[in-house]
């Protein structure tokens, strides 16, 4: 347009300004997020938002997807869209013709039942039949899908100024779209029973002959074709033709047959069939080999199972170490099931155990915002707009072999559209601030507890020994229950990486308690752990000790007696959680679910450095369930041993069922109680044993302690005391109880703590103040102090010359300045002031 001739000359400056703004917007660099930007953020979506097969409409919808999430996308290097086009049968059915009609996920509910879509009795659930999500959903061809992929890339680039990648999905089950391929023409590929008997495609199945032409098999499928070969060849053709950049394998596909169950090909709930292990591993490995032969270059992203590394290996033969040899694979993220069942322990254990070792440094956090198929939007209804499943898993970090703290490189949202194809802006508007805060607060150092995970040991034991599958299976379940009962575990390092780090950085874990298994006799891990303790380290060991060597048995002062199982009377030196009705003193120890029978006893009961913490007795026979040992020559080192009872069992459902806490003591509680031996009190006040315990994480971020929690019952109280004193949660008040800070907190919460108080009682508060002074970035007031010792954890880069303390003073801070000391380095980098009464203000 010629502005001068059109008479719109006065708008020329405005137009130029808009052009400049758009250009600047397109070049916008990601915010640093304090040096923690994401490599990639993925928006997952079905095709349902494209309610009309109209090119202009599709373009507007695509633009809106990126606009809604732009406040978050600016913090990523790359933006992706993952399309839930169908159930993956669109890949299997593809013939290579753009005009071919495409079956797609236009349903609510399960379309692969005996009931026709939109039919059947009213009382049928949506898991028993399906409805169209619109009265007349649009029809799409493969050519239309290619246009959608191209449009997403074009519009995404315009909005974000970043590279846009688009991925496709394959699901093994009956959800999402009708599949004649799976359920009519080739039912021989079905195996798993997660959604009914033989409803899930087995990755190591073999196809029968089929004369139908396919893009990768124009003359049909030959008899005996491995499914991996067929899927690989079809994927290679389909993904390239459509313009897709990666493929997501959903719901455990590629990771065994049973992605959702605590049983599998090896474990049936009654025992472990060791003889099947090698063959099952080979079948899974063959799938990946066959698939990669035909589809070698595409990046594979994976959902994985709902369980953990050790559990999957022992129950279903899933050899994660072998799968991770593929360097172009993105490991499985956290399971979204915590939204459904509140089992955050299982989510956290699965997430951490799968990131202990990785193909490279990339891993993924996934958040469940909407469900495009089952009429629920977790952020709005399952979570009730509470961000616990943001703050808890985003407090997790891994430590690599170099000793570096590594955060998730990828962030996914399942999904940005709901079951009706709507994209309510309320969800990105409300979720984004929590995601960003969790990332700002994410770990920069090991947490108070570090899980040294036996990734290599589990994979070695499974094939080297004939009796250790129960031990491999049990370990992760024990930790799952410990987390569900308030054990604040959220940092992980593999045993392999630990051995390297502790050799080169011996002080790396000086502020942490290491949590790990009993190492094998004469192993390098055994030597590393013994040296760690004897040089002042703090260690908690769990699990059976039947394969322990003499050196480690001596360290623990442990001997093994004859195994016992069944019901025991349990005693403990700990008062336990404060309740009107105490926990029962009976406990059930099942050898099958607890890695063998109870065998452990203190070897030398006269050893002055050993103290029994918990004992179990049965018919006059005693077994020591937990004890602590320390010696003066260990330079402050200490080890706690907990044999561990997995207080849960298989009752026929998908997951192991915990014992009723009103009838039987929950064995994994001992792991939280025993933290008192390291000066950490994490007590709970609640009505009775039936009230669920809270889940807690404590991360170290820029020298702060970041507390995050989920209280399934908001009537409980949390009580905290550390070696430094009582932690004060920023912005809150506490009534101290015998040196513990006490808080009644909501369902989900996330608070910073930089101040610890040594004071027996009184109401104390910690509030942030404005700077009001050049050169000062942070200022806090602690009030209600009585002859208190106060420890302050300033930011990492703050030195004594940058730190200031004032007693009973106010703006403009010209009076009341007091001296301080640098605190004991055993408690980390901090400053300390003593004998403080009244109000203390600190700044830097």
Distance from C-alpha of 324 to C-alpha of 165, rounded to nearest angstrom: 23
pLDDT on residue 27:
43
Residues 267-319 have pLDDT tens digits of: 999 999 999 999 999 999 999 999 999 999 999 999 999 999 999 999 999 99
**pLDDT-derived band at 197, boundaries 50, 70, 90:** low
Distance from C-alpha of 390 to C-alpha of 384, rounded to nearest angstrom: 13
Q: Which two tokens stand for residue 159?
A: 């909005």
pLDDT on residue 654:
86
Beta bridge partners of 483: none
Asked whether the predicted pLDDT for residue 96 surpasses 90, the reply is yes
Asked whether the predicted pLDDT for residue 14 surpasses 60, the reply is no
pLDDT on residue 256:
83
pLDDT on residue 121:
85
Residue that the structure tokens 């009654």 belong to: 270
Asked whether the predicted pLDDT for residue 16 surpasses 60, the reply is no
Asked whether the predicted pLDDT for residue 22 surpasses 60, the reply is no
**pLDDT-derived band at 26, boundaries 50, 70, 90:** very low
Asked whether the predicted pLDDT for residue 608 surpasses 90, the reply is yes
Q: Which two tokens stand for residue 515?
A: 């949590």
The arithmetic mean of pLDDT across residues 16-31, rounded, is 42
Cα separation values, 776 from 1, 63, 702, 752, 803, Å? 53, 43, 17, 19, 9
Residues 405-414 have pLDDT tens digits of: 999 999 999 9
Asked whether the predicted pLDDT for residue 3 surpasses 90, the reply is no
pLDDT on residue 468:
96
Distance from C-alpha of 616 to C-alpha of 597, rounded to nearest angstrom: 12
Task: Give the sign of the dihedral formed by CA 119, CA 124, CA 128, CA 132.
Answer: positive
**pLDDT-derived band at 773, boundaries 50, 70, 90:** very high
**pLDDT-derived band at 31, boundaries 50, 70, 90:** low
Distance from C-alpha of 379 to C-alpha of 381, rounded to nearest angstrom: 6
Residues 142-173 have pLDDT tens digits of: 999 999 999 999 999 999 999 999 999 999 98
For the chain, what is the radius of gyration of the CA atoms? 29
Beta bridge partners of 406: 398
The arithmetic mean of pLDDT across residues 727-744, rounded, is 98
**pLDDT-derived band at 4, boundaries 50, 70, 90:** very low
The arithmetic mean of pLDDT across residues 71-94, rounded, is 97
Asked whether the predicted pLDDT for residue 20 surpasses 80, the reply is no
**pLDDT-derived band at 21, boundaries 50, 70, 90:** very low
The arithmetic mean of pLDDT across residues 469-484, rounded, is 97
Q: Which two tokens stand for residue 598?
A: 């109870």
The arithmetic mean of pLDDT across residues 253-266, rounded, is 89
**pLDDT-derived band at 354, boundaries 50, 70, 90:** very high
Which of 30-44, 170-184, 218-232, 779-793 has the weakest average pLDDT? 30-44
Beta bridge partners of 226: 206
Closest by CA position to 306, among listed 360, 256, 244: 256
Cβ neighbours around 65 below 10 Å, total: 22
**pLDDT-derived band at 64, boundaries 50, 70, 90:** very high
Closest by CA position to 753, among listed 770, 742, 767, 772: 767
Backbone angles phi, psi at 699, to 5 degrees: -105, 155
489 touches 660 (CB < 8 A)? no
pTM of the model: 0.94
The arithmetic mean of pLDDT across residues 397-403, rounded, is 98
687 touches 577 (CB < 8 A)? no
Distance from C-alpha of 390 to C-alpha of 381, rounded to nearest angstrom: 15
pLDDT on residue 257:
77
pLDDT on residue 23:
37
Residues 609-624 have pLDDT tens digits of: 999 999 999 999 999 9
Q: Which residues contact 137 (CB under 8 A, 6 or more apart)?
A: 51, 106
pLDDT on residue 591:
97
Q: What share of residues in the chain are helix, strand, coil (percent, to 5)?
A: 30, 30, 45
Helix (H, G, I), strand (E, B) or coil at 780: strand
Helix or strand holding residue 275 (H, E): none
Share of residues in the chain with pLDDT > 70 (%): 95
Helices vs strands, H then E, count in the chain? 21, 45
Burial 164-194 (b: 16+ CB within 10 A, else e): bbbbbbbbbbbbbbbbebbbebbeebbbbeb
> How many CA atoms does the CB half-sphere of 497 hold within 13 Å?
24
- Length of the chain as a residue count: 844
Locate the DSSP E strands across 704-797. Answer: 704-710, 717-721, 726-728, 733-737, 741-743, 748-753, 755-758, 761-769, 779-792
Asked whether the predicted pLDDT for residue 188 surpasses 60, the reply is yes
230 touches 238 (CB < 8 A)? no
The arithmetic mean of pLDDT across residues 701-720, rounded, is 97
Q: Please, what is the Cα angle at 118 between 114 and 123, to 5 degrees? A: 75
The arithmetic mean of pLDDT across residues 655-666, rounded, is 96
Q: Mean pLDDT for the chain?
A: 94
pLDDT on residue 340:
83
Residues 422-468 have pLDDT tens digits of: 999 999 999 999 999 999 999 999 999 999 999 999 999 999 999 99
Q: What is the DSSP letter of 284?
A: H
Distance from C-alpha of 208 to C-alpha of 226, rounded to nearest angstrom: 9
Helix/strand/coil (H/E/C) assignment for every residue in 165-230: EEEEEECCCCCCCCCHHHHHHCHHHEEECECECCCEECCCCEECCECCCCCCCCCCECCCEEHHHH
């Amino acid at each position: 347009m010629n502005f001068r001739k059109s008479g719109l000359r006065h708008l020329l400056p405005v137009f130029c300004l808009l052009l400049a703004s758009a250009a600047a917007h397109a070049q916008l660099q990601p915010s640093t997020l304090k040096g923690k930007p994401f490599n990639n953020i993925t928006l997952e979506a079905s095709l349902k938002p494209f309610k009309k097969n109209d090119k202009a409409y599709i373009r507007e919808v695509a633009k809106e997807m990126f606009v809604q999430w732009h406040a978050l996308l600016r913090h990523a290097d790359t933006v992706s869209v993952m399309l839930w086009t169908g159930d993956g049968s669109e890949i299997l059915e593809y013939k290579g013709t753009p005009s071919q009609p495409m079956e797609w996920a236009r349903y609510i509910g399960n379309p692969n039942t005996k009931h026709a879509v939109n039919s059947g009795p009213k009382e049928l659930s949506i898991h028993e039949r399906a409805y169209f999500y619109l009265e007349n959903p649009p029809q799409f061809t493969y050519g239309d899908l290619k246009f959608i992929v191209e449009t997403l890339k074009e519009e995404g680039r315009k909005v974000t100024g970043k590279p846009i990648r688009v991925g496709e999905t394959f699901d093994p089950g009956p959800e999402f779209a009708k599949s004649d391929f799976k359920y009519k023409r080739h039912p021989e590929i079905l195996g798993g029973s997660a959604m009914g008997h033989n409803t899930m495609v087995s990755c190591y199945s073999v196809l029968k002959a089929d004369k139908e032409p396919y893009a990768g098999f124009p003359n049909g499928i030959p008899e005996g074709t491995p499914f991996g070969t067929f899927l690989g060849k079809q994927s290679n053709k389909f993904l390239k033709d459509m313009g897709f950049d990666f493929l997501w394998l959903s719901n455990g596909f590629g990771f065994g047959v049973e992605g959702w169950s605590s049983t599998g090909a090896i474990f049936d709930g009654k025992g472990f069939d060791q003889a099947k292990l090698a063959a099952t591993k080979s079948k899974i490995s063959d799938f990946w080999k066959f698939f990669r032969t035909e589809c070698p270059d595409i990046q594979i992203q994976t959902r994985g199972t709902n369980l953990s590394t050790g559990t999957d290996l022992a129950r279903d033969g899933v050899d994660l170490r072998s799968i991770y040899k593929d360097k172009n694979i993105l490991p499985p993220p956290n399971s979204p099931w915590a939204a459904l069942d509140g089992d955050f322990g299982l989510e956290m254990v699965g997430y951490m155990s799968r990131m202990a070792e990785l193909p490279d440094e990339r891993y993924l956090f996934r958040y469940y915002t909407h469900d495009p198929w089952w009429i629920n939007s977790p952020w709005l209804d399952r979570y009730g707009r509470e961000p616990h499943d943001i703050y808890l898993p985003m407090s997790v970090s891994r430590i690599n072999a170099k000793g570096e703290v590594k955060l998730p490189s990828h962030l996914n949202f399942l999904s940005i559209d709901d079951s009706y194809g709507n994209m309510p802006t309320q969800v990105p508007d409300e979720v984004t601030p929590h995601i960003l805060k969790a990332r700002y607060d994410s770990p920069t150092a090991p947490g108070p507890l570090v899980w040294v995970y036996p990734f290599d040991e589990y994979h070695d034991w499974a094939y080297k020994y004939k009796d250790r599958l129960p031990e491999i299976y049990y370990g992760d379940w024990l930790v799952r229950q410990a987390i569900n009962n308030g054990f604040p575990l959220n940092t992980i390092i593999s045993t392999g990486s630990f051995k390297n780090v502790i050799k080169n950085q011996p002080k790396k874990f000086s502020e942490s308690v290491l949590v790990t298994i009993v190492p094998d006799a004469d192993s390098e891990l055994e030597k590393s752990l013994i040296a760690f303790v004897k040089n002042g380290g703090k260690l908690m060991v769990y699990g059976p000790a039947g394969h322990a060597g003499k050196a480690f048995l001596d360290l623990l002062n442990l001997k093994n007696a004859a195994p016992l199982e069944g019901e025991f009377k349990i005693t403990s030196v700990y008062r336990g959680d404060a309740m009107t009705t105490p926990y029962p003193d009976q406990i059930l120890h099942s050898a099958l679910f607890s890695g063998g029978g109870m065998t452990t006893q203190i070897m030398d009961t006269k050893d002055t450095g050993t103290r029994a913490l918990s004992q179990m007795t049965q018919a006059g026979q005693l077994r020591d369930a937990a004890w602590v040992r320390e010696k003066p020559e260990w330079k402050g080192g200490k080890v706690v041993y907990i044999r561990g009872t997995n207080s849960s069992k298989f009752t026929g459902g998908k997951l192991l069922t915990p014992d009723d806490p009103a009838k039987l003591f929950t064995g994994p509680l001992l792991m939280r109680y025993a933290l008192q031996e390291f000066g950490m009190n994490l007590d709970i006040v609640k009505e009775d044993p039936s009230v669920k315990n809270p889940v807690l994480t404590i991360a170290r971020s820029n020298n702060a302690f970041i507390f995050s929690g989920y209280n399934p019952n908001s009537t409980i109280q949390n009580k905290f005391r550390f070696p430094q004193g009582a932690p004060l949660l920023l912005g809150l008040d506490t009534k101290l109880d015998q040196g513990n800070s006490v808080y009644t907190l909501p369902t989900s919460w996330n608070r910073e703590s930089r101040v610890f108080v040594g004071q027996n009682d009184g109401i104390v508060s910690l509030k942030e103040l404005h700077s009001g002074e050049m050169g000062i970035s942070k200022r806090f007031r602690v009030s209600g102090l009585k002859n208190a010792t106060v420890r302050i954890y300033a930011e990492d880069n703050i030195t004594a010359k940058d730190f200031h303390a004032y007693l009973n003073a106010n703006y403009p801070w010209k009076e009341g300045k007091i001296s301080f000391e640098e605190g004991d380095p055993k408690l980390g980098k901090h400053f300390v002031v003593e004998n403080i009464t009244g109000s203390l203000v600190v700044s830097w």
